Amino acid sequence: MDDRPTGPLAGLLVADFSRVLAGPYATMLLADLGAEVIKVEAPAGDDTRAWAPPVRDGVSTYFLGVNRNKRSVVLDLADGTDRALARELAGRADVLIENFRPGGLDRFGLGYDAVAATNPGVVYASISGFGTTERGRALPGYDLIVQAMSGLMSLTGTPEGEPLRSGFALFDVIAGMHAAIGILAALRARSDSGQGQHVEVDLLSSALSGMVNQTSAYVAGGVVPHRMGNNHPSLYPYEPLPCADGELVITSGNNAQFRRLCEVLGVPELADDPRFARNEDRTVNRDQLRPLLVARLRTRTTTEWFREIVAAGVPCGPINDVAGGVGFAGEIGLEPVVDVGTGEAMVPTVRNPIRFSGTPVDYRLPPPRLDEHGAEIREWLGSSGKE
């Protein structure tokens, strides 16, 4: 196959039996780093191919967002010949990743035990919604369900409003990153032992880990967090505050930052006020402090205050829409968009966030059309094989 990768994971073969988001996001990260990823799709294709609008040239932008640097082959696991090809791929792979319901690939001879029996070095990663216990395996794992059941929605929104979901599938993404980390760790262990292993990630565990201070508040402190809108339970100020023409997010992570904020706002005396001198005091007395800060902020525009507050070394920023966020990243030189492919096949995608000094990320293949590479992959695997 042409277009061989050159990144730090070059030479690794990943058999990607996953679909939708968590698994495909993990495999795209690996592919960006140089792994050769073969995306195995059912005849109908990955579900996200049909998740539209929006679209680009008739293709779902959802699918485009997590499937660059991969080759697509359609294998119908209900068909004996295709099933044999899938097993051959699994037997050659360094990594196999799947997000079927727990045990769902066993009936095709593609579960961990069956694959490891002929490929003992395989790192086999499984992503589920709620794990593999008797109760957990029976539950379908959609991100929104996990946002509800993990407690995240109880934290999102205003105190008087209804629980809200995150604006994107947060826990699918976190689980995908956890899966990628687990795979890399297992590959490192394999370099010493020669043996692969089964890596398991579930969305609920990823959610509870990803909520960090909120879950720790309950587990370590016995406190059940609740919705606070844009307020932070342990820091103040740490929220959007109104200026003359809009809101500016201002964060004060320590007492020195708060003192600098007070100085730039022209109210240095607030930093010495015993009600506000320490972070604990500011957090408890936020209702008294907020109007004092707002009175000063309303005298100037968000742009004017942003420039001055940042210059003073205090973190702050305007509230952008997604276009504004991408645009600002471009303004500061982060080059957030990379074009993958050429000509009519070129697709703009969001840059991988990891930068290497010696082995850069490789953007070699646009997200594939369904079965785009089927013929060459079947030939490579030996498509004349029969069960």
- CATH topology (fold) of 238-330: formyl-coa transferase, domain 3 (3.30.1540)
Catalytic residues: 172
Computed from CA positions of residues 199, 202, 203, 207, in that sequence, does the dihedral angle turn out positive or negative?
Answer: negative
Q: Would the pTM of this model clear 0.95, i.e. be above it? A: no
Q: What residues contact 335, with CB distance under 8 A and at least 6 apart?
A: 329, 351
Report the SS3 class of residue 242: strand
Query: What is the reported pLDDT for 140?
Result: 85
Sequence letter at residue 95: V
Domain assignments of the chain as residue spans, ordered by start: 13-211+347-381, 238-330
Whole-number Å distance between alpha carbons of 250 and 242: 10
Whole-number Å distance between alpha carbons of 258 and 254: 7
* CATH number at 13-211+347-381: 3.40.50.10540
The per-residue pLDDT string of the chain (387 residues; one tens digit each, 9 = 90 and over) reads 446 778 999 999 999 999 999 999 999 999 999 999 999 999 999 999 999 999 999 999 999 999 999 999 999 999 999 999 999 999 999 999 999 999 999 999 999 999 999 999 999 999 999 999 999 998 988 999 999 999 999 999 999 999 999 999 999 999 999 999 999 999 999 999 999 999 999 999 999 999 999 999 999 999 999 999 999 999 999 999 999 999 999 999 999 999 999 999 999 999 999 999 999 999 999 999 999 999 999 999 999 999 999 999 999 999 999 999 999 999 999 999 999 998 888 999 999 999 999 999 999 999 999 999 999 999 999 854 444
The distance from CA 293 to its chain's CA centroid, rounded to whole angstroms, is: 35
